[in-house]
A = this chain, B = another copy of it.
Amino acid sequence: MNIAFIGLGNMGAPMARNLLKAGHHLYLFDLNKAVLAELAAMGGTISTSPKDAAQAGDLVITMLPAAAHVRSVYLNEDGVLAGIRAGTPAVDCSTIDPQTARDISTAAAQQGVDLGDAPVSGGTGGAAAGTLTFMVGASAALFDTLHPVLAQMGRNIVHCGEVGTGQIAKICNNLLLGISMIGVSEAMALGNALGIDTGVLAGIINSSTGRCWSSDTYNPWPGIIDTAPAARGYTGGFGAELMLKDLGLATEAARQAHQPVILGAVAQQLYQAMSLRGEGGLDFSAIVKGYQKPS
């Protein structure tokens, strides 16, 4: 299949590699020439613009850092919508606000293009291993079209509803995740300060009503989970700056929807304070350091 793939950063490049390995022909665009050269060596074709790539593809996939990039990649003079043929399916895998996802999709529809959103979870590790989760906002027909290709880059391909719902699912999940991680941090640090063994405490929580992914799989307290970032100095994993980005999307979407998110807003500010202390490059579970005496 001829696929236009635009945006080859930390996530996009390994995703494109998996599509190349699966036998697709890729028309590639990014501002980074080194990554273009590397993927060309694997058989991809370098395009001169998003428009150029889109003209050549039977499917368009984009993976970009933020909404502003999505807008320009699709809507600029040399953008995707200037090149894409009517009837070509398209999917944006960037994590952006739901409204922009809908706006771009509406613009695409005016040219006969069905454009969905499919943000991912699983990080750079999941992108390399082809085990990402895709949360897909798309019409039923578009979802059926996209599914086999997305399945070559990921393991869980979830249909969330119409366009925009992929973004909604992701920011709602990450809103809860950002809160839960702080909740676990407070519970573990309090238990430690009060004198219970933290391993025992985690065991009780994980078999009780406090049970959650942030405790049983990704516990922020060192010594609880061998495979969690807490076991390796909070390196790797899901950086606090990325959590900040997602909480910013969630609280801004909430503001536009006139919907309160009280703990979510506090969580965002606590990660922001963590970032101000110079720890934004650590995994987001390092938020627990704010509950420990400085060493």
Interface set, chain A 143-181, CB cutoff 8 A to B: 156, 158, 160-161, 164-165, 168-169, 171-177, 179-180
Nearest B residue (CB) for A211 = B213
Chain B residues with Cβ below 8 Å from A252 are 252
Contact, CB under 8 Å: A182 / B259 = no
Contact of A210 among B168, B176, B278 (CB under 8 A): B176
- A267 within 8 Å of B (CB atoms): yes
In the complex, A195→B257 CA distance in Å? 10
Tell me which of A31-39, A76-84, A201-209, A222-230 binds B: A201-209
Interface set, chain A 195-251, CB cutoff 8 A to B: 195-197, 200-201, 203-205, 207-215, 218, 248, 250-251
Chain B residues with Cβ below 8 Å from A135 are 204
Contact, CB under 8 Å: A121 / B208 = yes
Nearest B residue (CB) for A292 = B276
- A113 within 8 Å of B (CB atoms): no
- A48 within 8 Å of B (CB atoms): no
Number of residues on chain A facing chain B (CB within 8 A): 82
Chain B residues with Cβ below 8 Å from A261 are 186, 190, 269
Contact, CB under 8 Å: B210 / A174 = yes
In the complex, A144→B179 CA distance in Å? 38
User: In the complex this chain forms, how many copies of it are found?
Assistant: 4
- Interface hub of A190, A254, A266 (most chain B Cβ within 10 A): A190
Contact, CB under 8 Å: B253 / A260 = no
- A116 within 8 Å of B (CB atoms): no
Chain B residues with Cβ below 8 Å from A171 are 190
Contact, CB under 8 Å: B263 / A267 = yes
Known: A174-B210, A201-B172. A257 touches B194 (CB 8 A): yes
Query: Footprint of B on A, CB under 8 Å?
Result: 98, 121, 133, 135, 156, 158, 160-161, 164-165, 168-169, 171-177, 179-180, 182-184, 186-191, 193-197, 200-201, 203-205, 207-215, 218, 248, 250-255, 257-270, 272-273, 275-278, 290-294
In the complex, A264→B179 CA distance in Å? 11
Contact of A204 among B160, B215, B294 (CB under 8 A): B160
Known: A183-B176, A213-B209, A291-B276. A165 touches B253 (CB 8 A): no
Q: List 9 A-B contacts (CB under 8 A).
A: A158-B203, A160-B200, A165-B195, A168-B196, A176-B215, A186-B262, A194-B253, A259-B276, A263-B263
In the complex, A294→B273 CA distance in Å? 11
Known: A169-B201, A265-B266. A259 touches B193 (CB 8 A): yes
Contact of A186 among B176, B207, B215 (CB under 8 A): B176
Chain B residues with Cβ below 8 Å from A270 are 260, 262
Nearest B residue (CB) for A250 = B190
Contact, CB under 8 Å: A179 / B190 = no
In the complex, A203→B207 CA distance in Å? 21
